[in-house]
Amino acid sequence: MNIHALLISRFKEALTELNAADAPVPIARSARPEFGEYQFNGAMALAKRLKQKPRDIADKIVERVKLDDVADKLEVAGPGFINIHLSDRWLANQCELAIHDPRLGVAKQPKQNVVVDYSSPNLAKEMHVGHLRTTIIGDSVVKLLEFLGHNVIRQNHMGDWGTQFGMLLAHLHDKLQNNQMAETALSDLEDFYREAKIRFDQEADFADRAREFVVKLQGGDKACLALWEQFIDVSITHSEEVYEKLNVSLTRDHIMGESAYNHDLAQVVSDLKEKGIAVEDQGAQVVFIEELADKEGNPAVYIVQKSGGGYLYATTDLAAMRYRSGKLNADRTLILTDARQALHFRQTEIVGRKAGFMAPEQSYEHCPFGMMLGSDGRPFKTRTGGTVKLVELLDEAVERARNLIAQRDNELTEQELAEVGRKVGIGAVKYADLSKNRTTDYVFNWDTMLSFEGNTAPYLQYAFTRVKSIFRKAGVSLADLPIDISLNEKQEHVLAVQLLQFEETINVVGRDVTPHVMCAYLYDLASSFMSFYEACPILRDDTPVQVRQSRLALAALVSNTMALGLSLLGIETLEKM
C-alpha cells in the first residue's frame, strides 16, 4: 500500500472539482502526531492563484476530498494546512491484506530496463576499500529494483585495459618463463604491481619491452592476448573471492569490462568528428564543452583520443553509453562511483547526448558517494599506510563479530557461532556503509558498526530475532493464526502506520538510489516495535485472546517487513543469536 500515492490521487480529484486539476498536490508526512500522519500543504499556493483566502480553499478541499474510508479526521490548521488522521479501521485492514501477500502489499512498478554499473574494480590491482561502497550500495539497489519489477542489467565495468598492462604483462611473461604458475605469480596483485613498477622505472630494457607489449596488446597479437587473459582471469578470481564473502550477486556473466568496447572506440571518435562535436587540437581529438566553461569563459576540454592515437577512459564510457542505450535499451543507467568522478560523468553525458548516443528520455544517472575514512579522518589505510585488502578486512569483521557474540549470553554451538559471526560481521560492514547518506564521507569504525545499540546491523538482526522468539514462546506460527487486527493503543497505531509506509520507502530508494532511507526506516520500525512490545503485552496471562492474536499478527508483519527490508539491503537475518 502506498498511502502517499493514494492520498495524492484523492486530493487530485478534489482539486479537479475546484477547476485546479493541474495544481501540484504537495502531501508530506506530518511533523508531529497531533497533526495526523500526513499533511496537505497546497492550499496556500492555490489561494494565490484563485485569489481566495487559503483557509477558505482548505475548507473547500476538505468538503470535497473523498477520504471517508481512509481517514477519520481531516482538520484545517494554521494558515491552511490540512491535517490527515488515518483511521484505525482502515490501517488494520491494510495490515491484514499485507500479511496475506508475499510482497507485503508492495505493488510492482511499470517495468523499465535499468542498467546498473557498479563494483567495477581495476584488475591491475587488488580490489580495495574504494570499491567496497560501490559494490555494497550497488548490490542492494539492484535487488530492490528487481523487487520493484524492473529488468535490471548488472554491468561490472572492470578496468581491464590500458597502458599499465604493458608492464604487468612483461613481468608476468618473465615469471612464467621461470616456470612460475600464473596463480602463484599473481597471488598478491599489490606486490606484483609494485615489482613491475620498480622494474619499469629502473630497467630501461624492461620498460622498452613493456611498451612493446602495449603495442602488441592493442594490435591484437595472439600470444599477448592469451597472456593478458591469464592475468585478467586470476585477477577476476580475486574479486570473486570478495564478492562471495560479501554475499553479493555479481557473477562473471555481469562483467562488461573496458576491453569489451575496444572494437567501437575508433567509431565513437569518427562519429563525434563527423557530427562536428570533436575537433583536432594539437594532434589530439577533443570536445570543447561550452556548457562547462570556467569563469574566464574557456570551455572544458574533454579528450577522446590522445595525440599518439590512444583512447581514454572517456572514449570507453561513450561507447558504453551507446551500447547500453542502443543494445540494452536502458531506460535508466545508474553508475556508482566515488564523487571524484562526478565531473567526468557530467561531461560524458553532455557529449554523449549531443552525439545522440542516447535518447532524451533515457536517463544517465551518476550516483556519487563519499570516501571511506579511517578513525583519524583520513583516507582509510592500514596502520603502516598501505592499502587495506578487502578480503582481510572482511575476515576481520567475521572474527570480531564471532568473538562478540561468543561473549554474550546464548547457547550457540560452535557451528552456529561461526554462522552467526559471519552474518553479523559481514552484515555490520555492509550496513555501516548502507546506512550513511552515500554522498558524504564516512568513518569506518569497528566498535560503532558492531554495536548492538543504534542504527547498526547487529541491532536490527537482534531485534528481528526478538520478534521471532515471541512466536517460539507463544508456540504459534503465522500460518495457524487467525488474522484479525484491531488497533486500540497509540503504539499499535504508530506501528501500523509505519508498517504501511514500507512501499513509500522502497519507492524512494529505487528512485534516488539511497539505501540509507531504507535503513532509517527499518531502524525506526524496530524501535517502534520495541515501544509497542513494552506498552502492549502479548504473551501476558491477562491479555485477552483476541488482543493477543491481533498483536501477534502485527508482530508477524513486523518480522516479515524486517526480513524483506534487510534482504533487499543484502543483510542476512537469523533465527537466534
Interacting residues with ligand ARG (CB under 6 A): 117, 120-122, 157, 159, 317, 320, 335, 337
Least Å from the CB of residue 119 to ligand ARG: 9
Instruction: State the number of CA atoms in the 13 A half-sphere of 405 facing the CB.
Output: 29
Q: Which residue is it, cell 485477552?
A: 544
Q: Please, which residue, 124 or 571, has the CB nearer to ligand ARG?
A: 124
Least Å from the CB of residue 430 to ligand ARG: 19
Q: What does 322-371 look like in DSSP terms, one character per residue?
A: HHHHHTS--SEEEEEEEGGGHHHHHHHHHHHHHTTSS-TTSEEEEEEE--
Q: Please, which residue, 261 or 521, has the CB nearer to ligand ARG?
A: 261
Least Å from the CB of residue 321 to ligand ARG: 9
Q: Please, which residue, 39 or 120, has the CB nearer to ligand ARG?
A: 120
DSSP conformation class of 123? T
Least Å from the CB of residue 317 to ligand ARG: 5
Least Å from the CB of residue 157 to ligand ARG: 4
Run of H or E residues at 427: helix 414-434
Least Å from the CB of residue 526 to ligand ARG: 34
Q: Please, which residue, 100 or 327, has the CB nearer to ligand ARG?
A: 327
The identity of residue 185, as a single letter, is A
Q: Give CA separation, 491 vs 468, 498, 533, 554, in Å.
A: 19, 11, 9, 11
Length of the chain as a residue count = 577
Least Å from the CB of residue 543 to ligand ARG: 55
Three-state SS for 155-195 is EECCECCCCHHHHHHHHHHHHHHCCCCHHHHCCCHHHHHHH
Give SS3 for 442.
strand
Least Å from the CB of residue 75 to ligand ARG: 51
Q: Please, which residue, 157 or 400, has the CB nearer to ligand ARG?
A: 157
Least Å from the CB of residue 254 to ligand ARG: 13
Q: Please, which residue, 136 or 517, has the CB nearer to ligand ARG?
A: 136
Least Å from the CB of residue 259 to ligand ARG: 12
Q: Please, which residue, 125 or 548, has the CB nearer to ligand ARG?
A: 125
How far is CA 356 from its chain centroid?
29
Return d(Cα 561, Cα 567) in angstroms, integer. 10
Run of H or E residues at 285: strand 284-289
- Residue 443 is placed in which grid cell? 568513518
Q: Please, which residue, 56 or 338, has the CB nearer to ligand ARG?
A: 338
Return d(Cα 300, Cα 289) in angstroms, integer. 5
Q: Please, which residue, 128 or 402, has the CB nearer to ligand ARG?
A: 128
Return d(Cα 42, Cα 62) in angstroms, integer. 12
Return d(Cα 115, Cα 107) in angstroms, integer. 21
Q: Which residue is it, cell 597472456?
A: 227
Q: Show contacts of 172-181: CB within 8 Å, 24+ apart.
A: 172/227, 172/230, 172/231, 173/213, 173/227, 176/227
Q: Please, which residue, 250 or 557, has the CB nearer to ligand ARG?
A: 250
